Copies of this chain bind each other. A is one copy, B any other.
Amino acid sequence: MAESTANPALLEEVRERLESFLADGGHRKTPERFVVLEEIYARGGHFDVDALQERMKQRGAKVSRATLYNTIELLLEAGLVRKHRFGEQSQYEPGYPSRQHDHIIMDNGEVLEFCDPRIQQIKATLEEHFGIEILHHALHIYARKK
């Protein structure tokens, strides 16, 4: 179930991307930012702030809630994290490599991913029909095991 573990090449890649992003934006290269990034990519999969803080603690890194929120905000801007609101609390997932997908939220909280090309077709139809420019979308499927 665990989405496998640390892909060293991926970790290196996202670390570099964060470094560039921080440099470009004039942000500082603090250790907290990199530890958070690594923890997110080390395990992969979806998480909320509570779970992330718990994982940080187990890793032996103490990062405050405020810093977690700040850092996630930064990672969102950097495209290294994506944000979702399936239920009450916000959930996040690694944002790289960027791959379009949607979500199935199981009644036990588990989250599956899928990708169906028909969604792009629907979006094309909508753009034409309504004369709009679609910025993004979210398809949430709520289901249970049969």
Taking Cβ atoms with an 8 Å cutoff, the residues of A that contact B are 85, 104, 106-107, 112, 114, 116, 118-119, 121-123, 125-127, 129-146
Assembled-state Cα–Cα distance A112/B134 (Å) = 13
**Chain B residues in 8 Å Cβ range of A135:** 107, 142-144
The 5 closest A-B pairs by CB, nearest first: A132-B143, A134-B143, A133-B146, A138-B140, A139-B139
**Chain B residues in 8 Å Cβ range of A133:** 143-146
- For the A-B complex with A107-B135, A137-B140, A137-B142 known, give 8 more contacts whose Cβ atoms are closer than 8 Å: A104-B126, A116-B125, A127-B146, A131-B145, A132-B146, A134-B141, A137-B139, A138-B138
Q: List 18 A-B contacts (CB under 8 A).
A: A104-B126, A107-B135, A114-B126, A114-B129, A116-B122, A118-B122, A122-B139, A127-B146, A132-B145, A133-B143, A133-B144, A133-B146, A134-B142, A135-B144, A136-B142, A137-B140, A139-B139, A140-B140
